[in-house]
A and B are shown apart, each in its own frame.
Chain A
């Protein structure tokens, strides 16, 4: 195992909600991608799932119907192996993201949002939204704050803002208290996966007018 260079991890609360299965799909996608890149959070998730196993062990029992075992064995006889595991190409996109994009960065259907910044909204349920952001090297994303919770995972390149520097695998959390201007590092274009449960609020008048149109 190579030592991980990731400095910004998932919070305990997010990992617990994911292991319990209660996180909205868009956030679950960010968690699944970060865990794919981060052995430390994968171990933490394993530990939490072991707690889930312990909770299941001590759950009270509810009787099944008389024919339940026979019905289950019949399901198995009909389909002994289930659906085969999917295969993925090696890419900077972890496999859970490839499921949404249909491949790696080349498969993304980008839409321009101005200033060289591009985005692609991913198809998730409406409880929260997920999108990919492409920020050209050296470019700033307009000053913005957040209504609800936002999680941004860096997949390629790196950006810096008022908080810190974020590179591949790092996750930045935003909420009502964070107003920031992320700037992609010079040298490499930055691709991020971001999930939010509310639209972003931009500070300047022009971005605010554009916001309903560009959808970020």
Chain B
């Protein structure tokens, strides 16, 4: 389903600022890069202005995917439908906690859908790590969102270049079709290489944040 992308306001080619917190902003000519993703911008609008039209766009894009995901997790059509609605309601309710430094919209919404899968479909509990105190500077969020979505699209590119068998393993893991011991026994999942790409990027962003503190 393609929605008109009212949220995509980042131009394809423009002079971008290299983001270095606490120091002078360095300008450099833009290389062709992916756009900041429209779903993250929609989510920022929901967070900052309770924009219902932006929420409807998120709903139309994510709800049908979350419903499939929850049915793969073992939910009946009725249960998955109800849990999908609850997950999307949580997107609105928790939007104030969304930080584009940590994740793109699809990653953040994935974690909400996953937690819904655990508590509503599998009836289990999930301990969550301690929240980090992000120093909120909402004016910077659009540029930070661009950086995060560029990192994530690099990650997606890396995943899409994997051999089919490895991609299938990653999907099966996320669809809940592999136990921990099955994952552990499966040496084909090339997590190290994929992780290191995004790990470095995230650590750099965090380092910048810590310096400003």
Contacts and interface: CB of A to CB of B under 8 A. Distances in A.
Interface of A: 1, 11-17, 19-23, 25, 27-29, 31-33, 35-36, 39-40, 42-57, 59-65, 68-69, 71-73, 75-76, 79-82, 85, 88, 94-97, 99-100, 124-125, 149
Contact of A1 (B113, B198, B207): B207
B84 interface: yes
A69 B60 CA distance: 8
A145 to B, nearest CB: 18
Contacts of B43: none
A28 B21 CA distance: 34
A54 B126 CA distance: 22
Given A17-B180, A48-B191, A68-B63, 17 more contacts: A14-B180, A17-B173, A19-B174, A20-B176, A23-B180, A40-B199, A42-B129, A44-B199, A46-B103, A46-B198, A47-B194, A47-B198, A53-B106, A56-B66, A72-B89, A76-B93, A79-B93
Interface residues of chain A: helix, strand, loop or mixed (majority): helix
Contacts of B175: 20, 55
A69 B89 CA distance: 10
Contacts of B189: 12, 16
Minimum-distance CB pairs A-B, first 4: A53-B107, A82-B93, A61-B64, A47-B198
A44 B56 contact: no
A141 to B, nearest CB: 24
Interface string B99-138: 0001110111111011101100000111111111000000
A65 B129 contact: no
Contacts of B203: 39-40, 43
B124 A81 contact: no
B195 A53 contact: no
Interface string B158-184: 010000000000110111101111011
A57 B176 CA distance: 16
B111 to A, nearest CB: 6
Among A22, A29, A88, the most chain B Cβ lie within 10 Å of the Cβ of: A22
Interface in B33-87: 52, 56, 59-60, 62-69, 71-72, 77, 80-81, 84-86
B155 interface: yes
Q: Dominant SS at the B interface?
A: helix
B180 to A, nearest CB: 4
Contacts of A43: 198-199, 202-203, 206
Contacts of A51: 155, 159, 170, 174, 194
B92 interface: yes
Nearest to B192: A12
B129 A27 contact: no
A54 B176 CA distance: 15
B127 A55 contact: no
23 contacts: A12-B195, A20-B175, A21-B115, A21-B117, A22-B180, A42-B129, A50-B107, A51-B194, A52-B111, A53-B110, A56-B110, A56-B113, A61-B64, A61-B68, A62-B77, A63-B64, A69-B60, A72-B89, A75-B86, A81-B93, A95-B130, A96-B130, A125-B125
Q: Which of A51, A64, A68, A96 has the most CB of B within 10 A?
A: A51
Contacts of A56: 62, 65-66, 69, 106, 109-110, 113, 174
B195 A22 contact: no
B13 interface: no
B93 A21 contact: no
Contacts of B206: 1, 39, 43
B1 interface: yes
B88 A54 contact: no
A45 B189 CA distance: 15
